[in-house]
Amino acid sequence: MERRKFIQSMFSASAVAVVATPMGAFAKEEKKASKKGPNDMSFDDAVKAITDGKEVKDSDKVKLSVPEIAENGAVVPVKVNVDHPMEEKNYVKAIHVLNTANGNARCADIMLTSANAEGYFATRIKLSKTQEVVALVELSDGSFIKSAKSVKVTIGGCG
Amino acid sequence: MAEKRKSMIKIKPKKYKVGDVVKVDFIVIHPMDTGMKKDKKTGEIKPAHYIDSIKFSFDGKPFTTMKVWESVSTNPYFSVKYKVTGKGKITVDYTDNQGEKNSKSKKIKPKG
């Protein structure tokens, strides 16, 4: 009796396993395919599009403030402060807010002028999962500096 | 017809003089759909609908322009700084990817 039971259980278990694995795999693939956004862009492509292959330096001048842990990924406050003069010929040209793991890596591009008087920008963004937020700053002389910080996301906010 | 959206411009602090640097906050009620979320009632995927460009100008002269994608939160908030140069009007023009165009303005009245 024991042997029969053992064989029975073995067969049923293997059958379940065989049926379950491909189904699961298919379901996952479908989910991935349907989650493509209209203008998806990877982080590396986004950086290339902005800098055109130029070197990007990490700098203390860029102060990026984001929460360390975001309970709700749908609303993550982001604040960027750039410690750089805003004169007529020497100013912060643009601030790009990027993420590393959303479908579309670009969040917002802000083109500033000397009338702003301070390199400052704040907004709220959506993050799908735990990842880094990057502030890429373009100065008027054409150089790029950046600062990155990781954010832990408990509940994703991209649907 | 473009849908009228609720939006708001806030100047902080409330009292300022010529030469002061103030914060200009712009808030707009907008769904900012990513094109990935399903409608809870119908079960269909909602098409992408997000603000894609914003222009801040003072008396017709633009001082900040923004390009925005769907990764920005629902009912977005944007804040920049601005140096007050005199009396005038700050106008924010914004368009979304479905062609909706709107604008909002606020008078600037420096004291002293």
Out of B37, B67, B78, name the one closest to residue A123 (CB): B78
pLDDT bracket for residue B16 (50, 70, 90)? very high
Contact in structure between A32 and A114 (CB atoms under 8 Å): no
pLDDT bracket for residue A30 (50, 70, 90)? very low
The bridge status of strand A131-139 relative to strand A119-125 is unpaired
Mean pLDDT value across residues A104-117: 92
The tally of domains found in chain A comes to 2
pLDDT bracket for residue B43 (50, 70, 90)? confident
* ipTM, two decimals: 0.87
Out of B58, B66, B70, name the one closest to residue A37 (CB): B70
Mean pLDDT value across residues A32-43: 68
Contact in structure between A92 and A119 (CB atoms under 8 Å): yes
Out of A36, A116, A125, name the one closest to residue B80 (CB): A116
For tokens 């975001």, what's the residue? A70
The span from the CA of A75 to the CA of A91, in Å, is 30
**Is the model's pLDDT at A65 over the cut of 70?**
yes
Residues of A in contact with B35 (CB under 8 A): 37-38
B76 inside 8 A of chain A by CB:
yes
- Cα dihedral value B57, B77, B1, B59, nearest 10: -10
Provide the mean pLDDT of chain B: 90
The span from the CA of B15 to the CA of B8, in Å, is 18
Q: What's the pLDDT at A144?
A: 94
Residue of A nearest to B65 (CA): A111
Is A159 in contact with B36 (Cβ distance < 8 A)?
A: yes
Is A126 in contact with B72 (Cβ distance < 8 A)?
A: yes
DSSP summary character for residue A40: -
- Co-location of A1 and A49 in the same domain: no
Q: Please report which helix (H) or strand (E) contains residue A17, including its range.
A: helix A2-34
Q: Which of A27-36, A51-60, B50-59, B90-99 has the lowest mean pLDDT?
A: A27-36
Q: What's the pLDDT at A98?
A: 93
Out of A37, A113, A123, name the one closest to residue B36 (CB): A37
Q: What's the pLDDT at B93?
A: 94
Q: What's the pLDDT at A31?
A: 46
**pTM of this structure:** 0.81
**Is the model's pLDDT at A63 over the cut of 70?**
yes
3-state secondary structure of A25: helix
Can you give the residue range of the structural domain that contains A17?
A: 1-34
- Co-location of A17 and A75 in the same domain: no
pLDDT bracket for residue A3 (50, 70, 90)? confident
B98 inside 8 A of chain A by CB:
no
- Co-location of A9 and A67 in the same domain: no
- Co-location of A89 and A29 in the same domain: no
CA distances from B41 to A50, B31, B50 (A): 39, 16, 21
For tokens 């460009």, what's the residue? B53
Residue of A nearest to B77 (CA): A123
- Co-location of A84 and A59 in the same domain: yes
Is B34 in contact with A39 (Cβ distance < 8 A)?
A: no
Closest to A127 measured CA to CA, from A78, A77, A76: A76
- Co-location of A103 and A82 in the same domain: yes
Q: What is the CATH number of the domain that holds A128?
A: 2.60.40.2470
pLDDT bracket for residue B28 (50, 70, 90)? very high
Dihedral sign for Cα atoms in the order A132, A133, A138, A139: negative
Q: What's the pLDDT at A96?
A: 94
The bridge status of strand A69-72 relative to strand A56-58 is unpaired
Q: Where are the domains of chain B?
A: 7-108
Phi then psi for B59, rounded to 5 degrees? 50, 45
End-to-end CA distance of chain B: 43
**Correct CATH for B7-108 of 2.60.40.10, 3.10.50.40, 2.60.40.60, 3.30.460.10:** 2.60.40.10
pLDDT bracket for residue A77 (50, 70, 90)? very high
Mean pLDDT value across residues A96-109: 91
Contact in structure between A104 and B70 (CB atoms under 8 Å): yes
DSSP summary character for residue A68: S
Contact in structure between A92 and A86 (CB atoms under 8 Å): yes
- Co-location of A2 and A60 in the same domain: no
